[in-house]
Structure 1
């Protein structure tokens, strides 16, 4: 009898004490995270594709590439237009790929996938992601290795939807560790450079801005650790009226964060994605904050989520 495999493939549960996360085989994405039964990320059913790219790993670029076109050392590249209605390539090449599991213990799962040479991407990469739950929450470790014979630029992002327990999104506040914004055109959601410093109501994001009535699909830059941060991490958060909620932390290389407010997330309606990124939208064309990876070299970085308050 043929096994009925859900859209996201096999599901890998990891547990430590009251902390529990579910990782998917397809896309190596985060499908849910809770502690003592309290949800700290939005979740969805395993038999459907991740709504709004929920929990996705975005590699070798996050966000959008205009017309799917870019150049490597003067050679034109043409990626598939995976956002055809806006004529963009979006969110990398591995969202719908089954990842191989190299380790799965009670509290840890490690998956890896290869990005082969293909139209629009001329250098092979091997990438891995390790998810670990412990007394601090959920930690995630990414690596990318250049298997080719020449350097290649890339970026990496992730697409969690942090959730402040059972509080309604409109009753929560969003705080960002960012200092600038990169506006986008409304039609294709492509950046309109140059970026600018935060202004008006955007400044409230530094201390915590109510999400009620706020609609964003916006890239914020200048994300950096607070001067007194003991671990030197970038920290964003979503908290309820009591200050309880969830923090999304990341290494300083994640100097960008995309914020997307969804109005129709399954089972929740309003939800917010807080997406650490190493580079802004359309970076394969602008070159802004791209990571140059030499042949045979490996890059790594970490991020995670943890309850706060």
Structure 2
């Protein structure tokens, strides 16, 4: 695989609301990556969409295909304590009073290298009142003929103090042309995080046993089940990988996998009040820490100055 450095004065072919779109391909896979947010705009196998797309114009819709950092999911009240510092960040989910999905999903990234099957993008997250830490984030998206889309996010602490950190992707997977309710889900998890109905903030955990509504260790249709929950104690293969698989009645499907660096998994059936947006795809988000982790401290990565953290995941389809 050859890489061509991208000049600093690279000019987009056409103006886009989400920055230049970089296309990569390998085997049956094609992907489009935006410079804003390093977002996966689209991913296809043999021409079939594996992800729900955002509209062509305007901002990314509902974090579709986003890279979410330096925290996944929510911080209740946007307020957290780190090494004695009381920190207040902006409430980006104001109707629920939460800070949602980190800080980089709408930030400009710069191409480091681009080839026919891979892009490497980078952004610098400077200290701010709501996150007074200094990170360099590098995102690599590559397509492979067998593995599909493989994404890796590396965070490097450029600052002089330890930084709290978490990361996840935010794709809405599409198994096929049939409605989401008809798709069969396979997902092994031993524990579910319980949340409040109004703000979706954690209240505790509960076991997932046989016959539980969230027991998908054996494939079964999603039907009309509402899911917007985090799971842990994930069923893994010998190499530490866990997989979430969706199969459509017509024989097509999609699968997402991640490694041991992601100890949590958020799954959401994409329920929306707008009929045209409702239950279009299943959000599958391998997370390094759970919702509200900056307040609870659960599995938050402590990045020391000069230290880096790497997490990877992949999506393939048929």
What's the TM-score once normalised by structure 1's chain length?
0.92
Q: Which residue of 2 aligns with 1:139?
A: 150
Please identify which structure carries the higher helix content: 1
1:123 equivalenced with 2:133 (yes/no): yes
Q: How does 1:134-173 map to 2 (within 5 A)?
A: 134-136=144-146, 137-173=148-184
Mapped partners of 1:68, 1:252: distance in 2 = 28
Mapped partners of 1:19, 1:219: distance in 2 = 29
1:30 equivalenced with 2:71 (yes/no): no
Mapped partners of 2:173, 2:270: distance in 1 = 12
Q: 1:238 aligns with which of 239, 242, 246?
A: 246
Q: Which ranges of structure 1 fall in alignment gaps of 5 or more residues? A: none
Q: Moved runs in structure 1, 4+ residues, more than 6 A? A: 265-268
Q: Which ranges of structure 2 fall in alignment gaps of 5 or more residues? A: 1-11
1:179 equivalenced with 2:187 (yes/no): no
Q: Secondary structure at the match of 2:95?
A: helix
1:189 equivalenced with 2:200 (yes/no): yes
Mapped partners of 2:176, 2:22: distance in 1 = 22
1:251 equivalenced with 2:259 (yes/no): yes
Report the Cα offset of residue 167 of structure 1.
3.0
Mapped partners of 1:122, 1:266: distance in 2 = 40
Q: 1:213 aligns with which of 216, 224, 229?
A: 224
Mapped partners of 2:253, 2:260: distance in 1 = 22
Q: 1:3 to 1:244 in 2, by over 3 A?
A: closer
Q: Which residue of 1 aligns with 2:8?
A: none
Mapped partners of 1:5, 1:183: distance in 2 = 43
Report the Cα offset of residue 166 of structure 1.
2.5
Mapped partners of 1:106, 1:17: distance in 2 = 11
